[in-house]
Structures are given as C-alpha cells and as structure tokens.
Amino acid sequence: MESSKFWKLRTKWFDVKYALGLDRPEKHQKPENYKLEETFNIDYQSSAFQLFIDLAILVPNLGIYAEGWIFDPKNEIQALTFVTEREEVDVKSTLAKKNRPDLVPYIQSLGISNPPEDLGFFVLCPLSDTSNVTELQLEVQLQSGDTVDYKAGFLKLPSDPLPVIQNILTYCTLPNYRMRSILNNRIGSTVRTLWKSRERPEIEKIVREYGVQVENPEVSIIVPLYGRIDFLKYQLALFADDPDLKQNELIYVLDDPRSYDEFLYLCDSQSSIFEVPFKTVYTGINQGYAGANNSGVSSARGRLLLLLNSDVMPIRTGWLSSLVNVYDSLTEENVGVIGPKLLYGNGSIQHAGMKFVRYGLWDNFWINDHPNKGQPNFSESNSRPKKISAVTGACMMVTRELYDQVSGLDEEYIAGDYEDSDFCLKLHAQGRENYYIPHIELFHLERQSLSLSQTQEKDDLWKFRRSLYNCWLYNHKWEEYILKNNL
C-alpha cells in the first residue's frame, strides 16, 4: 500500500456541535462544515479527484456502512478497497449514487462550470468478521497504478441508535426500480442490525389503578397512548354506559414521556367523572406500538386480550361481549385473532379485514391492503365470521395464551407499521386461522391518535422511509410464506 508518487493527504477534524450530525446544511460552501466528526479530502496534484467520507459506522457482525461523495472528473479511481487485518473488499462497483446539489457551488468554485449532481454515495461493505475492526482503512487504487491510503475513526454509536437510523434512511435514495436491491444489499440489513443492537435497559413500570379493579376479568383491553392522550376521555365517556367495560380490565399505556404530567392530571380528573375502572402503565420511555402493547399485556390478567387504538370508539354498547362470544364460538375452528368492522366517522368502511397485495410503486413489495376501504357500509348483521389473512391492530382480539406463545408483537419494527399483520402471520404459521367479524362495528378515526406527534416530526421523508423500511422487513420475513400459502 505504498505510493510511487507524491500524494497529499489532508485530514480535518471538526468540533462536533451535535453527536450524530443529522441536520444537513441548505448551502454547501465547503465540506468542512458538512457533517460528522471527520472529513477527509484526498487531492492528487491539481485536484484531479476528491473523495470525502462523511459518515462511517462499524455495524456489528455485518460490515462497514459509509456515506460520502466522490468527484473524479478524469475517471482516475480504479478501485475503492476497505481493508481489515483479515480481508480486503473493493466496493467501487457497489456504491449507490445520490444526488448532492448542495455540492455544486463548491465544485464550481474549483473551476468546473457544469458539474454532475450525483456525486454522493452510500455503501455497505460486508465483512466476514468485524470483531477486531477498530477503524476505517480505505485504499484508493488509481488507473496509473498508484494508491492512496487513509484511516478514519468510526462513529461511536449511542445507546439509542434511532437518530443514526433516521440519518441513514433519509440520506439514501430509493428509486422504485432499485428499491428492493438497495434495501436488500445496503440499507435494510444495516438498519436492522443497528436497531437490534440498541441497549434495552430493564424497564421499571409504574402501574396506577383508578377505581375498583375487577378481580377476575375475562378480557384485558390494552390501549397505547401517544400524542393524542386526550382520546382517553372520549373513550371513557363512551365506555361509561356499557356494563361490559366495568366488568373487564382496561389498561392505558402511556408511550409518550413528554405528556406524563398532563396524563396524570387527565386520569385523575376523568376517572372521577366517568367512573370506569382502569389502570395505567408507564415505563418512562417511548417504546413504539409493539413495545407499548407488550408492556400493557405484561400487566394484564384477562384470559382474552383486546388490542385497541385510542382513536377507536364504540357505536353501541355490548360490542365487547359480542366479540368474546364470537371468539369462543370459533374455538373449534382453531381461531387465532379476530377483528371487527371499523368505520370512518361518515359511516364508510375503514377496515373489513386485510389482504396482502404487491405494490408496484414500492418495487412490488407486499403491503397490507384494506378491501372496500372508503366504500359505503351495507348492513351485514347476519353475516358469519370470515377467514382473512390478517386484521388491523387497531382492534384485534386474541387469547393471552396465544399472544405469549408467539412472543407478542415484534418490536423489531420501528415505531409502528406491519406489526399487526406480522402477528397474524405468526399465528397462521402456528396453524391458526384469523377472522374478520362483519356484524360488529366500531368507529375508527385512523391515525388521528398520532396527529399531534406527526406535526412535530421534522421531516415527512423520515416517516415515509421508516414505513418503507418496515415494509422491507415485513417482506424479508414473510414474502416466501405469503407466496407458499397463497395468502
């Protein structure tokens, strides 16, 4: 790795204002203020090419993920090789391009009148062994036969990798025709490994009880709250006149630490007004949809579980006992999970079971489709339960035994999306059948429970990419099973 010519290697260290560098400048005047802890500029004589590594992450048991940009107007770079003690991997052919219009003014300042925009890249370098890799070592091989070597430190991962994941998912480009290959070969496994590696401290739950709790509840209703915690009072108002809700267990799980004080006040005030007994679970962290439900279930005592969104509202009393009766009537049918019909506020259909369809705009990934969504609701009061591939997690009933048997909702998904269909498929893989119950109806405001939190997210792109990643993970786990079982 020695060069036969004189090379100039400039290394610049920066005072990092933020640990993860998620905020990108609108105008790029020069790369030194661009991102993370280290930026490297390699010049060959009269700036024949420039190479910058903006981010390097050692992904345990997987490889090295890197972001940066290359300006090589004379096509001098022949190979870009990541080097460890045990292996060398050329990644030049696997670099995924990214448009970087923010670089154009800087390149123009070098005397290039019409520079290309696709100078950015991101790449995953797979390694068979990451245990002894302590720094990034890159060998740049040129057409002339010369090489340039340099080293860089890896970003130290925080205990919560979510900001790093957000950076990765919002930086990458995912054109429809290459979406699947980029997620399969670069982004998906990187994000999945980072999310799995997050520190999971032992959670200390705070459980509070409001009103006299039922001794032996038949059903435990689990309601996560995030953002719109005020939905608690609307649900309680509608539950108040229903005897079923006073004879079973109602558990609200606060998944939004920012709202803790407001939540305590809300519970105190509303419990005295509506006199519906309930308990609350609080862990002090945001766990996401799956984690919040799992925490609620861990405090539940019922034989049956009903996972219920906070924006699902009953239309009439007796709906809960009706669901219980239907579930028990399907015991001989090897029932897994059941879900009722859900309606929009105008009475049209929001949920009538889910089926799996390929989505062309997402490179033919399988997604959850809601048949007849938005269509008029015709009476199905005499309709029997219908076998269905999956039902929405907004309102689903299952036994506690089955829930524990498949380890509950999978917390590998980030924040929310696809945990419900994943759960239904886990039950199906155990030989269970899932059912849609058309004659039991509730209102569902659909994602209104998240409306406040959504306005606080800085970038809609993050929400979109997060959902897309969850879709990739869902397909990675279940695509073959869906095809094999014709679901």
Q: What's the CATH number where 334 sits? A: 3.90.550.10
Residue of higher predicted confidence among 339 and 106: 339
Cα separation values, 472 from 236, 449, 481, Å: 37, 25, 14
423: burial class by Cβ within 10 Å (0-12, 13-18, 19+)? buried
User: Which tokens is 292 given?
Assistant: 């919040």
- CATH code, domain with 140: 2.60.40.10
| Cα-Cα end-to-end distance for the chain | 55
35-39, 52-56, 365-369: the lowest-pLDDT one: 35-39
**pLDDT score of 15 more than 90:** no
Whether 28 maps to a domain, the answer reads no
Are residues 218 and 106 located together in one domain of the fold? no
Are residues 258 and 379 located together in one domain of the fold? yes
Are residues 280 and 387 located together in one domain of the fold? yes
Per-residue pLDDT band for 458 (boundaries 50, 70, 90) equals low
| Measured distance CA(207)–CA(210) in Å, rounded | 10
User: Which tokens is 185 given?
Assistant: 């070969």
Q: Average pLDDT of 350-372?
A: 95
Give the global pTM: 0.86
pLDDT tens string 76-89: 899 999 999 889 99
145: burial class by Cβ within 10 Å (0-12, 13-18, 19+)? exposed
Average pLDDT of the chain is 86
Helix, strand and coil percent figures for the chain, each rounded to 5:
30, 30, 40
pLDDT tens string 162-178: 999 999 999 998 888 88
C-alpha torsion 421→426→429→431, nearest 10: -100
User: How much of the chain exceeds pLDDT 70, in percent?
Assistant: 87
Longest Cα–Cα distance of the chain, Å, equals 86
Are residues 295 and 425 located together in one domain of the fold? yes
Structural contact between residues 63 and 127, judged by C-beta atoms closer than 8 angstroms = yes
**pLDDT score of 455 more than 80:** no
What's the confidence (pLDDT) of residue 204? 86
Per-residue pLDDT band for 35 (boundaries 50, 70, 90) equals very low
Question: Which residue is listed with tokens 């519970």?
Answer: 267
19-28, 89-98, 196-205: the lowest-pLDDT one: 19-28
For the chain, the C-alpha Rg in angstroms (whole number) is 27
The tally of domains found in the chain comes to 2
Choosing from 126, 141, 156, the residue where a domain stops is: 156
β-sheet bridge partners, residue 40: 11
Whether 478 maps to a domain, the answer reads yes
Are residues 211 and 128 located together in one domain of the fold? no
β-sheet bridge partners, residue 347: none
Q: Average pLDDT of 92-114?
A: 89
What's the confidence (pLDDT) of residue 125? 95
Q: How many CA atoms lie within 13 A of 221 on its CB side?
A: 30
**pLDDT score of 23 more than 80:** no
Whether 26 maps to a domain, the answer reads no
Whose CA is closest to 57, among 26, 77, 33, 82? 82
Whether 162 maps to a domain, the answer reads no
116-125, 197-206, 217-226, 387-396: the lowest-pLDDT one: 197-206
Are residues 133 and 237 located together in one domain of the fold? no
Q: Average pLDDT of 145-167?
A: 88
User: Which tokens is 473 given?
Assistant: 């993970």
Whose CA is closest to 316, among 340, 336, 297? 340
Residue of higher predicted confidence among 428 and 107: 428
Element (H, E) at 87: none
Whether 416 maps to a domain, the answer reads yes
Choosing from 156, 174, 193, the residue where a domain stops is: 156
Are residues 252 and 401 located together in one domain of the fold? yes
Whether 171 maps to a domain, the answer reads no
What's the confidence (pLDDT) of residue 380? 72
Are residues 218 and 149 located together in one domain of the fold? no
List, in sequence order, the alpha helices (H) in 197-259. 231-239, 243-246
Residue of higher predicted confidence among 416 and 164: 164
Residue of higher predicted confidence among 42 and 25: 42
Cα separation values, 380 from 279, 318, 348, 440, Å: 35, 17, 13, 9
Choosing from 97, 129, 156, the residue where a domain stops is: 156
| Measured distance CA(120)–CA(54) in Å, rounded | 10
| Measured distance CA(61)–CA(238) in Å, rounded | 51
Are residues 288 and 389 located together in one domain of the fold? yes
Out of 330-334, 368-372, 420-424, give the one with best mean pLDDT.
420-424
Structural domain boundaries, residue 133:
44-156
**pLDDT score of 30 more than 60:** no
What's the confidence (pLDDT) of residue 294? 97
User: Which tokens is 214 given?
Assistant: 């039922």
Question: Which residue is listed with tokens 């209104």?
Answer: 448
| Measured distance CA(390)–CA(423) in Å, rounded | 9
Per-residue pLDDT band for 415 (boundaries 50, 70, 90) equals confident
11-20, 67-76, 103-112, 386-395: the lowest-pLDDT one: 11-20
Are residues 152 and 210 located together in one domain of the fold? no
User: Which tokens is 47 given?
Assistant: 């700036």
What's the confidence (pLDDT) of residue 245? 95
Query: How far does Cα 281 stand from its chain's mean position?
Result: 23
Whose CA is closest to 432, among 367, 335, 351? 335
DSSP string, 445-466: -SSGGGHHHHHH-S-HHHHHHH
What's the confidence (pLDDT) of residue 447? 63
Are residues 320 and 214 located together in one domain of the fold? yes
pLDDT tens string 222-263: 999 998 999 999 999 999 999 999 999 999 999 999 999 999
What's the confidence (pLDDT) of residue 258? 93
Whether 176 maps to a domain, the answer reads no
Q: Average pLDDT of 5-27?
A: 27
Are residues 228 and 291 located together in one domain of the fold? yes
Structural contact between residues 303 and 218, judged by C-beta atoms closer than 8 angstroms = yes
| Measured distance CA(253)–CA(305) in Å, rounded | 14
**Strand 219-225 with 304-308, pairing:** parallel
| Measured distance CA(324)–CA(109) in Å, rounded | 71
Q: Average pLDDT of 338-353?
A: 95
Structural contact between residues 249 and 213, judged by C-beta atoms closer than 8 angstroms = yes
Whether 400 maps to a domain, the answer reads yes
